[in-house]
Amino acid sequence: MQVLTTAINEVKLIIPRVYEDERGYFFESWQQQRFADMIAPVTFVQDNQSLSKKGTLRGLHWQEEHPQDKLISVLSGAIFDVAVDIRPESPTYGKWVGETLSAENHRQLFIPKGFAHGFYVLSETAIVSYKCSDFYHPESERSIRWDDPNLAIEWPIKGPPLLSAKDALAAPFKVR
Ligand SMILES: Cc1cn([C@H]2C[C@H](O)[C@@H](COP(=O)(O)OP(=O)(O)O[C@H]3O[C@H](C)C(=O)[C@H](O)[C@H]3O)O2)c(=O)[nH]c1=O
């Protein structure tokens, strides 16, 4: 497993060791001890999975009172995955990182607590599976507009994205 830093130090891009043979491939998508040794001693308690059509944008979301570390993986298709630093005291507050994760490149993104998360679907469909370090607390959910001008995220978007009603009405980013 290779762990690469991104433009925001705490957000890590993971390139797993993939074993390929004539049948296909095998890799350990998560291993607690190696993750603790190389990234952080995180206890994941919930796995989420979503399927989205091409052009879907889910996000930018986080849980305020029950913040979640997340390990994002793509089981099918490809997404542009984005993390936004929303930690009030952070020197990179309001900064974002984006990585293309796909079932083909097997890349994963570790997004710690204190970040908003969202992704845009590049393929016909994408199945995204992600591990969370706390349970779902809907009352604690917050969101920021995907296209907030103060974030200026460079989404690889062609045309208006497919949004949930909730995301279409998301709040603006709070500039410090
Ligand atoms: C997040 C979540 C949702 N749900 C239910 C609530 C809704 O009835 C339905 C769809 O939820 P929502 O539209 O909020 O799903 P997404 O827009 O994919 O939300 C996620 O999008 C971004 C990318 C994230 O990182 C968050 O994990 C999460 O906010 O699933 C649950 O039952 N458990 C959960 O943990």
Q: Which long-range contacts (CB under 8 A, 24 or more apart) does 145-154 make?
A: 145/60, 145/170, 145/171, 145/172, 145/173, 146/57, 146/59, 146/60, 146/118, 146/170, 148/172, 148/173, 150/94, 150/175, 151/84, 151/94, 151/96, 153/82, 153/84, 153/96, 153/98, 154/98
pLDDT in tens, 78-131: 999 999 999 999 999 999 999 999 999 999 999 999 999 999 999 999 999 999
Active site residue 61: yes
- Of 48, 64, 101, the one to substitute when testing ligand 1's pocket (max ligand atoms within 8 A of C-beta) is 48
Ligand 1 nearest-atom number relative to CA 72:
25
pTM for the whole structure: 0.97
Question: What is the predicted pLDDT for the residue at 42?
Answer: 97
Question: What is the predicted pLDDT for the residue at 165?
Answer: 96
Compute the CA torsion angle 117, 94, 109, 73 (nearest 10 deg).
20
pLDDT in tens, 32-63: 999 999 999 999 999 999 999 999 999 999 99
Strand partners, 8: none
pLDDT in tens, 123-170: 999 999 999 999 999 999 999 999 999 999 999 997 899 999 999 999
ipTM metric: 0.98
Binding-site residues, ligand 1, Cβ < 6 A: 48, 50, 58-59, 61, 117-119, 136, 164
Pick the CATH number of 43-168 from 3.40.640.10, 3.10.180.10, 3.30.530.20, 2.60.120.10: 2.60.120.10
